[in-house]
Structure 1
Amino acid sequence: MIIEVIKADITTIKADAIVNAANSSLLGGGGVDGAIHRKGGKAILQACVAIRNKQGKCKTGNAVITTAGNLPAKYVIHTVGPVWNGESKKNNALLADCYRNSLTLAIENDVKVIAFPNISTGIYHFPKDKAADIAITTINNFAEKEKIEKVIFVCFDDENYLLYEEKLNRINQ
């Protein structure tokens, strides 16, 4: 499995699946969630509404999959990251669950290339350095990682990009 980091807008990434840092309502919001819903169009919202009607809201750490609508990806995997409320093993575990559950859904849907944003580091205020460690460690330790060809960390800002680049370079040395 190849892991790379880029600085870009995740809505422009050509991948089998992009991951949305969603809120539990699945109905769009701010940040990456709002951008994915706006650029992906009504098909994503309609799929999310159908999921909500079937199962209710998406719980923190869980993930669901929909069409990507007008985006260049095939699927959007929506995962709900934890809101940072101070150091806790529970927050760390829930963030790791976001990555594991997204990868599991990817494998179930024959996704070979998946792109992740920096989950929970925006309005949910998860410390970027800690979130990067959890993301990279969780993906590297994922039990079925050989079924995924490529993971792309798509960073929107310089701070996250430099953090991921530094941490991945350390691992690859």
Structure 2
Amino acid sequence: MTRITCHRGDLTREAVDAIVNAANSSLLGGGGVDGAIHAAAGPRLLAACRELRATTLPDGLPVGDAVATPGFDLPARWVIHTVGPNAHAGQTDPALLASCFTRSLDGAVELGARSVAFPAVSAGVYGWDADEVARIAVAAVRGHPMPGIDEVRFVLFSDRLRDAFRRALVS
């Protein structure tokens, strides 16, 4: 049975097999979680993302999808990049947000990851309500078959987000 937890912390310091990056579709870095992961992973992460853009993802990563790269200088072996829906751009379909979590878990299973850490995808500058993100994320993870994954952590950068995920985990 997969253990699902949440805590306040720095995703870039998590000692797990894979961390999930709340990326933008360009995969070339940005602000928030994305910028922190790129900074902590070092320049080889950007090079790997540029290679993805030059080969398999010339138009960028679609909203709700996920793709993996090595973690390079991070404690995590892999980074699974996913693009959350942007509520400010009218992307308010809960299924798109749920897909970020399920597609990331699909990738983790394919990689053989036993532990995965997620941020609150779309709860930052993309404008989604923290409680809604938490409910959707927890439901998506609980409903996903995760063969081989022992632990899923939600690693949140604020007390407000951590509290939203705590409420979702006890419902």
TM-score where L is the length of structure 2: 0.94
Residue deviations 1:62-113 (CA, integer Å, cap 9, x gap): 111001111100000000000014887x621110110010000000000010
2:55 is aligned with 1:20: no
Equivalents in 2 of 1:25, 1:70: separation in Å? 21
Equivalents in 2 of 1:9, 1:155: separation in Å? 7
Q: CA deviation at 1:168?
A: 1.2
Instruction: Quote the residue 2:158 is aligned against.
Output: 157
Instruction: Quote the residue 1:129 is aligned against.
Output: 131
Q: CA deviation at 1:166?
A: 2.0
AA aligned opposite 1:163: A
Instruction: Quote the residue 1:29 is aligned against.
Output: 30
Ranges in structure 1 where 5+ consecutive residues have no aligned partner: none
Ranges in structure 2 where 5+ consecutive residues have no aligned partner: none
1:69 pairs with one of 69, 72, 82: 72
Instruction: Quote the residue 2:53 is aligned against.
Output: 52
AA aligned opposite 1:126: W
AA aligned opposite 2:75: P
Secondary structure of residue in 2 paired with 1:118: coil
* RMSD of aligned alpha carbons: 1.4
Contact 2:109 2:147 in 1 (8 A): no
| 1:133-152 superposed matches below 5 A | 133-142=135-144, 144-152=145-153
Q: CA deviation at 1:169?
A: 2.5
AA aligned opposite 2:52: I
Q: CA deviation at 1:152?
A: 0.2
Equivalents in 1 of 2:108, 2:44: separation in Å? 19
AA aligned opposite 1:83: N
| 1:74-89 superposed matches below 5 A | 74-85=77-88
Secondary structure of residue in 2 paired with 1:47: helix
Instruction: Quote the residue 2:121 is aligned against.
Output: 119
AA aligned opposite 1:133: R
Equivalents in 1 of 2:168, 2:108: separation in Å? 24
Secondary structure of residue in 1 paired with 2:93: helix
Residue deviations 1:94-150 (CA, integer Å, cap 9, x gap): 1011001000000000001000000001110111111100000000001x2243110
Equivalents in 1 of 2:109, 2:124: separation in Å? 27
Secondary structure of residue in 1 paired with 2:125: coil
